[in-house]
Amino acid sequence: MSLIGSADPFWGAATANSNFCELDYAITRYVAEFINTLTNLVYIIYAIRGLRNLYKKPEVDTLRTLPYWGLMAVGLCSGAFHMSLKYHTQMMDDLAMHFATTPVLHRVLTINSTRRTSIISAWILACALAALLTFHMVTDELILHSVCFGVMVTVIGARTMQLVKQRTAPASDSEARRTIWGVVRFAAFIFNLGFYLWILDQWACKPLQNARSILGLPLGFVLELHGWWHIFTAIGAYLFIAVVDHLVSGEDHRELDDIAWPASWAARSVFAGRGEEKNNKEE
């Protein structure tokens, strides 16, 4: 539980079930957790970039835009939650997480389905999501919410790897396959790294607070690990959304150049096997 840095918080006492390691109202009385609020801009920036790229394409289906709108909703709702630490904004944040994930899950599960099957699947997922969120808000529990979110992310990751194998040339020297694998591996790595930092932020809160106090501002901001969780998961989520959209839409693999940084770096890094390829050439 965070300490209170201001005696006169604009939003009043916290009513959310979750509070994080950042000192509450330490920077301004108008923002409960300054860094945890500010870092949510990364979700919004990547969502805008993804939507801009989509709207440049001819006849874009609205369903293709939903994951990016969901990513933007995560940034807005999570930002509102960390700004106020109120129960209703916490529920908004939880809802946004599922709103961003469910459309991606639908796309990877119905890629080879007929339009009728796809629509039926969408309604089933929507009803299941509504039931889950209603139960979550009424009972105020966190376990089922977290488990369901984790399962959806895992299924998306596993299905994405299957799609990479199915939709790229199997030859070992396939440039497209190495490029996509590089982006997918990096996205999985950065997403998991963010999760581990989130856990560490909870487990080592007191030592982190002491270290931030010694470092002072602005260096102490570097140890706001929940903020890094926002940055890293925003990058990982955006890359997965972009790659899934690319694979499902069946676009030319050269369209991968439209994906925002660090996709271009990941596609040419050790995550794409470039280091191994270089070593083989040197041998």
Cα 33 to Cα 40: distance, rounded to the nearest angstrom? 11
Give a yes or no: residue 194 inside a domain.
yes
Cα of 250 vs its chain's centroid, Å: 23
Which has more confidence, 112 or 77?
77
Give a yes or no: residue 22 inside a domain.
no
What pLDDT, on a 0 to 100 scale, did the predictor assign at position 17? 85
- In the predicted model, what is the mean pLDDT of residues 9-36? 91
Residue 206 has pLDDT above 50, yes or no: yes
Domain holding 242, by residue range, is 34-282
Give a yes or no: residue 247 inside a domain.
yes
Give a yes or no: residue 180 inside a domain.
yes
What pLDDT, on a 0 to 100 scale, did the predictor assign at position 274? 55
| Confidence label for 276 from pLDDT (cuts 50, 70 and 90) | very low
pLDDT in tens, 227-275: 999 999 999 999 999 999 888 887 766 666 678 888 888 877 888 775 4
Q: What is the CATH number of the domain that holds 277?
A: 1.20.1070
Q: Report the number of distinct structural domains present in the chain.
A: 1
Which has more confidence, 20 or 275?
20
3-state SS of 6-17?
Answer: CCCCCCCCCCCC
What pLDDT, on a 0 to 100 scale, did the predictor assign at position 254? 61
Give a yes or no: residue 268 inside a domain.
yes
What is this structure's pTM? 0.88
Which has more confidence, 152 or 264?
152
b/e code 153-180 from CB counts within 10 Å (16+ = b): beebbebbeebbeebbeeeeeeebbbbb
* 2 closest CA partner among 33, 23, 26: 23
What pLDDT, on a 0 to 100 scale, did the predictor assign at position 269? 82
Give a yes or no: residue 23 inside a domain.
no
- In the predicted model, what is the mean pLDDT of residues 12-18? 89
Q: 3-class DSSP state for residue 154?
A: helix
What pLDDT, on a 0 to 100 scale, did the predictor assign at position 5? 56
Cα 263 to Cα 45: distance, rounded to the nearest angstrom? 15
Give a yes or no: residue 6 inside a domain.
no
pLDDT in tens, 98-143: 999 999 999 899 988 888 898 899 999 999 999 998 998 888 877 8
Is residue 40 within 8 Å of 75, Cβ to Cβ? yes
Q: What percentage of the chain carries pLDDT values higher than 70?
A: 90
Which has more confidence, 145 or 82?
82
Give a yes or no: residue 201 inside a domain.
yes
Which has more confidence, 264 or 83?
83
